């Protein structure tokens, strides 16, 4: 191929970028419809919003599976010679090719059918959880597992009739959320991690708990909101490029290159719940807001994977937000907001209360240590379900056994056990591991960051986050989808996925906190 690409190729790339941009704009509009639904939508308009969403999602899909996109991708190949300082054509073609292939491999009737089944399944799950009736949900779950299995096969995994198998059916589902990681890679890390965390949790459970009654006084919600906004701004969130709103479940969503919105919720008797949601979602937002501008409006303009995203939110929420240095910086200010509630509370008592470890049944309420155990348990059950060593009917009992083994406690009924999460009812299998991968990646990054920036604790104490942002931006954020998770880990940490830094951090922190 000649060094200067023919004008024709340049034009083809421009055209492909325009098509991709139109699709990305529609995807952002879809995100606005969803954000509005969670934060603003009048209750009477829910059904109609679903129709609007279906139209938008249909159009977005159409834009992606447009045969012109396929032809242009074929023409442009790997983009040799098209790379410029302004635009990473090679990465663009590689990622768009992946999106396109995934989309065209799924037959439209299959997509429609599974979306319809997911809607019914979710509704059935809501009822089943309310009535604590797993049996009523089981047939839907079986269907969702079957759809997920078919999807993976369509995408070329498992026992594909075409013989182009790349890995197990479950590998295919994992690949949707964490490209490049197979179940074997994850199991090799999760297994030992689970054992060591369980052991630590057992030791901690035998120790006395710190007092935390002062965290359950009445904390005025308006003041919590003011404090959270001040904190979020100080952490580096640019309110000219995003918003903080209220919703039933906290989330982050990207409505544009300069419009990333997060939400939280406040409870008067639990002032840290709203704050840690803000910091967690803020971590997601910092990632989306630090992409290099060359990626603007293209399919590259997103975090690279669920796991890397979660590494950012958990880094900010836990490693930074629950650290002694962070609260050295913020506790005095927090006391100014809530002087009566925190009267006479010494710093160390507060710090210990912030980091209380207590095995609990519900994942979303779990502490920093137990959280990964909840995930490992789900991963192992998903593996068994997709490898046919566990049936849906056996699932509740398997769940309870795993809880007992991993966390030392057992749910009294399925609503607080196997029925607690929405994910499986929507067919989102292979998604859970991202959460624990986030913890693992996060500490791999943090180990390097603190080696590069030995002053970090002092910076946190003076509430100066600039160097941390700069490091994360340069090493991780700016790439967007250009860099795969494995590339980032290798480039930053010089090795593969490893839970050692996370375990080291957890064991050190909680050994000290609980005087083990």
Map tokens 């002053």 to a residue: 455
Nearest-approach distance from CB 406 to a copy of itself, in angstroms: 42
Distances (CA, A) of 409 to 23, 195, 209, 358: 47, 15, 17, 11
Sign of CA dihedral 381, 385, 391, 392: positive
| Interaction between residue 43 and a copy of itself (CB under 8 A) | yes
Give pairs for 455-461: CB < 8 Å, separation 24+. 456/325, 457/323, 457/325, 458/325, 460/320, 460/323, 460/325, 460/326, 460/328, 460/329, 461/325, 461/328, 461/329
Nearest-approach distance from CB 253 to a copy of itself, in angstroms: 13
Scan residues 141-160 and list those touching a copy of itself (CB under 8 A).
none
Based on the residue annotation, tell me whether 281 is a catalytic residue of this protein.
Answer: yes
| Interaction between residue 50 and a copy of itself (CB under 8 A) | no
From 252, 215, 205, select the one nearest 232 (Cα to Cα): 252
Could you tell me if 269 and 216 are in contact, meaning their C-beta atoms sit under 8 angstroms apart?
yes
Residues in contact with a copy of itself, total (CB under 8 A)? 34
Q: What residues contact 245, with CB distance under 8 A and at least 6 apart?
A: 39, 261, 262, 263
What DSSP letter does each residue of 482-509 carry, written as one string? Answer: GS-HHHHHHHHHSSS--SHHHHHHHHHH
| Interaction between residue 40 and a copy of itself (CB under 8 A) | yes
From the list 44-52, 172-180, 201-209, 461-469, the region that binds a copy of itself by CB under 8 A is: 44-52
**DSSP conformational letter for 95:** H
| Interaction between residue 507 and a copy of itself (CB under 8 A) | no
| Interaction between residue 34 and a copy of itself (CB under 8 A) | no
Interface mask (CB under 8 A) for a copy of itself, residues 280-309, using x and -? -----------------x------------
Interface mask (CB under 8 A) for a copy of itself, residues 14-33, using x and -? --------x--xx-xx--xx
Contact with a copy of itself (CB under 8 A) among 15, 19, 52, 212: 52
Scan residues 220-249 and list those touching a copy of itself (CB under 8 A).
238-243
Nearest-approach distance from CB 36 to a copy of itself, in angstroms: 6
Nearest-approach distance from CB 26 to a copy of itself, in angstroms: 7
| Interaction between residue 55 and a copy of itself (CB under 8 A) | yes
Q: How far apart are CA 268 and CA 402, in angstroms?
A: 34
Could you tell me if 174 and 305 are in contact, meaning their C-beta atoms sit under 8 angstroms apart?
no
Catalytic residue among 178, 183, 281, 368: 281
The residues annotated with a catalytic role in the active site are 281
**Residue numbers at the binding site for a copy of itself (CB under 8 A):** 22, 25-26, 28-29, 32-33, 36, 40-45, 47-49, 51-52, 55-56, 59, 238-243, 255-259, 297
């Amino acid at each position: 191929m000649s060094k200067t690409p023919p004008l024709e190729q340049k034009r083809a790339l421009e055209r492909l970028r325009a098509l991709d941009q139109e699709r990305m704009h529609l995807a952002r509009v879809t995100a606005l419809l969803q954000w509005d639904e969670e934060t603003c939508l009048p209750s009477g308009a829910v059904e109609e919003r679903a129709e609007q969403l279906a139209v938008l999602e249909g159009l977005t899909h159409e834009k992606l599976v447009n045969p012109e996109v396929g032809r242009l991708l074929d023409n442009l190949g790997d983009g040799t010679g098209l790379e410029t300082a302004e635009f990473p054509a090679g990465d663009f073609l590689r990622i768009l090719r992946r999106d396109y292939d995934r989309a065209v491999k799924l037959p439209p009737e299959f997509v429609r059918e599974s979306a319809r089944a997911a809607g019914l399944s979710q509704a059935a799950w809501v009822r089943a959880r309310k009535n604590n009736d797993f049996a009523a949900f089981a047939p839907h779950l079986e269907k969702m597992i079957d759809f997920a299995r078919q999807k993976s096969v369509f995408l070329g995994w498992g026992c594909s009739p075409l013989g182009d198998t790349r890995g197990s059916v479950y590998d295919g589902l994992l690949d949707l959320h964490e490209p490049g990681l197979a179940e074997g890679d994850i199991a090799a890390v999760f297994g030992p991690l689970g054992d060591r965390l369980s052991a630590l949790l057992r030791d901690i459970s035998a120790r006395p708990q710190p007092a935390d009654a002062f965290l359950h006084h009445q904390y005025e919600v308006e003041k919590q909101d003011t404090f959270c906004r001040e904190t979020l701004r100080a952490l580096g969130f640019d309110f000219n490029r995003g918003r903080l709103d209220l919703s039933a479940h906290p989330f982050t969503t990207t409505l544009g290159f300069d419009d990333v919105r997060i939400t939280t919720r406040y409870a008067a008797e639990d002032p840290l719940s709203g704050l840690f949601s803000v910091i967690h979602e803020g971590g997601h937002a910092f990632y989306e807001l630090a992409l290099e501008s060359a990626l603007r409006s293209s399919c590259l303009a997103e975090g690279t994977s669920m796991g890397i995203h979660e590494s950012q939110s958990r880094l900010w929420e836990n490693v930074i937000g629950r650290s002694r240095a962070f609260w050295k910086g913020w506790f005095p200010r927090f006391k100014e907001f809530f002087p009566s509630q925190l009267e006479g509370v010494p710093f160390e008592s507060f710090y210990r209360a912030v980091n209380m470890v207590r095995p609990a049944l519900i994942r979303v309420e779990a502490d920093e240590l137990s959280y990964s155990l909840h995930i490992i348990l789900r991963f192992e059950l998903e593996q068994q379900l997709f490898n046919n060593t566990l049936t849906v009917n056996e699932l509740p009992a398997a769940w309870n056994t795993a809880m007992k083994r991993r966390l030392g406690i057992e749910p009294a009924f399925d609503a607080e056990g196997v029925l607690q999460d929405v994910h499986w009812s929507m067919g989102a299998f292979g998604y859970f591991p991202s959460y624990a991968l986030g913890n693992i990646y996060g500490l791999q990054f943090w180990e390097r960051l603190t080696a590069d920036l030995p002053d970090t604790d002092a910076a946190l104490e003076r509430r100066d986050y600039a160097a941390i942002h700069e490091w994360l931006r340069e090493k991780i954020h700016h790439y967007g989808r250009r860099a795969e998770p494995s590339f980032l880990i290798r480039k930053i940490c010089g090795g593969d996925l490893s839970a050692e830094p996370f375990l080291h951090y957890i064991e050190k922190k909680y050994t000290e906190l609980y005087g083990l």
